[in-house]
Amino acid sequence: MMKGTDSIRSLKGIGDKTEQIFRSAGIETIDDLITLYPRYYLTYEEPVSIADAQPGIRVAVYGKITNALAYRQFKGLKITTCNIRDHSGALGLIWYNMPYMRKQLHQGDTRIFVGTPVMKNGRLVMEHPETFTEEAYRKQRQTLQPVYPLSRGLTNKMIVKAISQTVDYMREIPEYLPDEIIKKYHFPDYGLALQHVHFPVERQDVIEAKRRLIFDEFFIFLAAMRMIKEQNGVIENHYKIYETKESRDFMRNLPFDLTGAQMRALQEMKADLQKDEAMNRLVQGDVGSGKTILAVILLLMTATNGYQGALMAPTEVLAVQHYETFCKMLEPYQIRIALLTGSTKAKEKREIYKKLENHEIDIVIGTHALIQEKVNYRCLALVITDEQHRFGVKQREALYRKGLEPHVLVMSATPIPRTLALIIYGDLSISVIDELPANRLPIKNCVVNTSYRPNAYRFIEKQVAMGHQAYVICPMVEESENLEAENVTEYTKILRQNLSPSIRIECLNGRMKAADKNRIMEEFGKGKINVLVSTTVIEVGINVPNATVMMVENAERFGLAQLHQLRGRIGRGDSQSYCIFISGKDNEETKKRLEILNRSNDGFYIANEDLKLRGPGDFFGVRQSGMMDFVLADIYQNADLLKMADDSIRSLEENGFSFGNLNNDRLKKQLELALQL
Ligand code: ADP
Ligand code: MG
């Protein structure tokens, strides 16, 4: 009998090497494997005209092979190529290390080819297309193929092969949610939901399975929060923090006046720091509303009251930027500031650990490495997390386990409606910064099609000539980070050919080493790089006020919330900023969605309108707020399930149910998992 805790080694086809590949994706046991959910499902759509095929978007085309398949070897690769044509245009096909394709396809054959075209040497080609005869394609049209999140070495085939061996096990998994919940909401059993999410027969299977699994994510999250609360009770304020000479001096010398909303939030937090209970607050403010300065003020107060403070950022790039901001702003006050991230060298790390223990560091800035096991603080009084939209449960638990009970402040740009925030953030108090600094000119937006590209390039050149900088965002590639990196590199080449050679263009992508990313970001921050081509890795937090242009390629492929975040990288200084959304698709729906962004720079408004357009419970679309750290769940799209989970927990509690006192093994295990770092 298979057990959830069994190693995936027990499956057929998984030897040392494959095990290692799974392991580096965080999958070691059967339970890890079956909770690796598909990101989406491939459907096989009607073929489009070749002329409508676009880089980065998977399509089917119906074409005739116009030449004999050519074969050559290059740098150890066996490359097979040919061209196809339909009434509208031509497209190249490429296969690597599949020389036998020459036996399978011939000049004159007409087939349906499915794949994601990419630009190669300035021309559109499809690599490794799936190939069907018309009849075979008719059958394929009716299937839903799960597509899993891939990482280096891990292919969809490997995952499907492994998971398909666990179907019997999934069938046997006992239900762990109370019966009344299952009945009330007509959920499928846990085991059935798992089977259906991996191997749906029809769309309805996916919808029902996902409802159940998303409900579970919310339920477990909220239950874990309850459990901590039950265990910890009210946290006493051990660190009363007051204004100091330095903090007053800092406030007097600010280069700008705080907005009314910033002042209000600051007052609320200052009051918190003196109460009997520890501060536990969320500051919610749209991109560019000026949250960082509040963190600076509070941490300066903390340090000069004789305590330590920490600032956590979700990415290393952002941590480095914050570190530099803090060093510059707090320079006059002799505050000891350190940076601690994943790429800090081992020796330096040990040094920092020691200094933190001895209180030779006042403020430490970094990624969530800051609260991991080895780090011990002498007197940690305040932890601020930036853009970590769901800081809470895990991290707070980690702090308490270390015997630390600091004040906690979470800063977020995610515009969560108050009713949902109250559920998600449970016991947090909330401050809202609903006002932008007065010097800001509203960003000017435009939504255009690809024929506008040359104009956009000329525009970027003009802005650079005026001393400004620009971001260009490349479309993400769903299938893999490799392809995405390639895309960005390719685009950078094209851009270099199209912009004046005096303009320095560099690129950034998720596959680069942290150190390289940091270097590029630093140079961009200093104005040494004029144009930064990037994937969405730059989306969170980055602040380069001199950048005035944001050009987003294939804007239709991003969620609106994400586009809003991206756009938030400009319009951060005194100069007029411009956002150019290039839409690769001209259909009505795309126009409507992008029009929302065109019309408004307000995150709340955008999130609401987007939801109206897509409708709640869009179980096939891209998650809107991929930043909330849930796997399947999206608090906007699944707000109804979030409320249901909250209701369920309340009614269980009213009936005397205690999460701290469980006799349900699987639920207990899920809660423990939710609490692990
Ligand atoms: P976010 O809320 O997105 O984190 P930041 O804190 O990075 O925004 O602030 C964006 C920019 O606005 C920074 O350059 C910051 O110095 C500046 N800023 C913050 N508050 C004000 C203000 N009251 N007046 C003018 N500029 C401000
Ligand atoms: Mg910020």
Taking only the tens place, the pLDDT of each residue in 165-196 is: 999 999 999 898 999 999 999 999 999 999 99
With the CA atoms of 661, 664, 667 and 672 taken in that order, what torsion angle do they form, in degrees rounded to the nearest 10?
50
Q: Rounded CA gap, 204 and 507, in Å?
A: 42
Taking only the tens place, the pLDDT of each residue in 371-403 is: 877 889 999 999 998 877 655 566 777 777 777
> Is the model's pLDDT at 626 over the cut of 60?
no
Tokens 């560099």 locate to 506
pLDDT bracket for residue 532 (50, 70, 90): very high
Checking 481-486 for CB contacts under 8 A at 24+ apart, the result is 481/151, 481/152, 481/509, 481/510, 481/511, 482/152, 482/511, 483/116, 483/118, 484/509, 484/510, 484/511, 484/535, 485/509, 485/510, 485/511, 485/512, 485/535, 486/118
Give me the mean pLDDT over the 534-558 stretch: 84
Tokens 């000119």 locate to 441
Structure tokens at 52: 């409508």
Residue 664, ligand 1, Cβ within 6 A: no
Compute the distance from residue 318 Cα to the ligand 2 centre, in Å. Answer: 9
Ligand nearest to the CA of 318: 2
Helix (H) or strand (E) holding 473: strand 469-473
The whole-number pLDDT of residue 393 equals: 62
- DSSP class of residue 220 equals H
The whole-number pLDDT of residue 601 equals: 86
Tokens 């109804």 locate to 640
For residues 267 and 307, the answer to whether their CB atoms sit within 8 Å is no
Q: Rounded CA gap, 317 and 298, in Å?
A: 22
Helix (H) or strand (E) holding 532: strand 531-534
Mean per-residue pLDDT of the chain: 88
Q: Rounded CA gap, 308 and 298, in Å?
A: 11
Handedness of CA 88, 92, 98, 99 (dihedral sign): positive
- Residue closest via CA to ligand 1's atom 15 equals 290
* Most confident by average pLDDT, 36-45, 248-257, 417-426, 596-605: 248-257
Closest atom, ligand 1, to C-alpha of 290: 6
Bridging pattern class, strands 110-115 and 59-65? antiparallel
Task: Give the residue, out of 264, 291, 292, 565, with the most ligand 1 atoms within 8 A of its beta carbon, to mutate for a pocket test.
Answer: 292
26 in the Ramachandran plot: left (φ > 0), alpha (ψ -120 to 50) or beta? Answer: left
Distance, CA of 258 to chain centre: 30
For residues 352 and 364, the answer to whether their CB atoms sit within 8 Å is yes
pLDDT bracket for residue 480 (50, 70, 90): low
Degrees, nearest 5: CA angle 293-540-559: 135
Cα distance between the two ends of the chain: 30
SS (H, E, C) 538-581: HCCCCCCCCEEEEEECCHHHCCHHHHHHHHCCCCCCCCCCEEEE
Residue 321, ligand 1, Cβ within 6 A: no
Task: Give the residue, out of 543, 544, 546, 601, with the most ligand 1 atoms within 8 A of its beta carbon, to mutate for a pocket test.
Answer: 543
> Is the model's pLDDT at 125 over the cut of 60?
yes
Residue 439, ligand 1, Cβ within 6 A: yes
Buried b (16+ CB within 10 A) or exposed e, 502-512: ebbbbbbbebb
> Is the model's pLDDT at 351 over the cut of 70?
yes
- DSSP class of residue 365 equals E
The whole-number pLDDT of residue 477 equals: 56
Ligand nearest to the CA of 543: 1
> Is the model's pLDDT at 431 over the cut of 80?
yes
For residues 394 and 630, the answer to whether their CB atoms sit within 8 Å is no
Give me the mean pLDDT over the 122-127 stretch: 89
Compute the distance from residue 24 Cα to the ligand 2 centre, in Å. Answer: 31
For residues 359 and 379, the answer to whether their CB atoms sit within 8 Å is yes
The whole-number pLDDT of residue 392 equals: 58
The neighbour count for residue 57, using CB atoms within 10 Å, is 18
The whole-number pLDDT of residue 412 equals: 87
Q: Which residue has the higher pLDDT, 109 or 666?
A: 109
For residues 93 and 82, the answer to whether their CB atoms sit within 8 Å is yes
Q: Rounded CA gap, 171 and 151, in Å?
A: 28
The whole-number pLDDT of residue 677 equals: 46
In a 10 Å sphere around its CB, with 0-12 CB exposed, 13-18 middle and 19+ buried, how is residue 328 labelled? exposed
* Most confident by average pLDDT, 42-51, 357-366, 596-605: 357-366
> Is the model's pLDDT at 25 over the cut of 90?
no
Residue 116, ligand 1, Cβ within 6 A: no
Lowest mean pLDDT among 117-131, 391-405, 483-497: 391-405
Q: What three-state secondary structure class fits 275?
A: coil
Closest atom, ligand 1, to C-alpha of 259: 23
Q: Rounded CA gap, 356 and 409, in Å?
A: 20
Helix (H) or strand (E) holding 453: helix 453-465
For residues 213 and 197, the answer to whether their CB atoms sit within 8 Å is yes
Taking only the tens place, the pLDDT of each residue in 57-79 is: 889 999 999 999 999 998 888 99
> Is the model's pLDDT at 587 over the cut of 90?
no
Q: Rounded CA gap, 8 and 19, in Å?
A: 7
Q: Rounded CA gap, 373 and 624, in Å?
A: 33
Closest atom, ligand 1, to C-alpha of 386: 4
Distance, CA of 464 to chain centre: 30
For residues 281 and 429, the answer to whether their CB atoms sit within 8 Å is yes
Closest atom, ligand 1, to C-alpha of 262: 23
Closest atom, ligand 1, to C-alpha of 568: 3
Q: Rounded CA gap, 124 and 118, in Å?
A: 6
The whole-number pLDDT of residue 56 equals: 77
Q: For 19-79, give the DSSP string.
A: HHHHHHTT--BHHHHHT---SEEE--PPPB-GGG--TT--EEEEEEE-SPPEEEEETTEEE
Q: Which residue has the higher pLDDT, 107 or 676?
A: 107
Amino acid, res. 122: G
Compute the distance from residue 572 Cα to the ligand 1 centre, in Å. Answer: 7
Neighbouring-strand partners of residue 84: 65, 91
pLDDT bracket for residue 622 (50, 70, 90): low
Taking only the tens place, the pLDDT of each residue in 440-457 is: 889 999 999 889 999 999
> Is the model's pLDDT at 581 over the cut of 90?
yes
The whole-number pLDDT of residue 269 equals: 97
> Is the model's pLDDT at 618 over the cut of 80?
no
Q: Which residue has the higher pLDDT, 449 or 306?
A: 306
Compute the distance from residue 258 Cα to the ligand 1 centre, in Å. Answer: 9
Residues in the chain: 677
Side-chain-side CA neighbours of residue 190 (13 Å):
20
Q: Rounded CA gap, 141 and 132, in Å?
A: 11
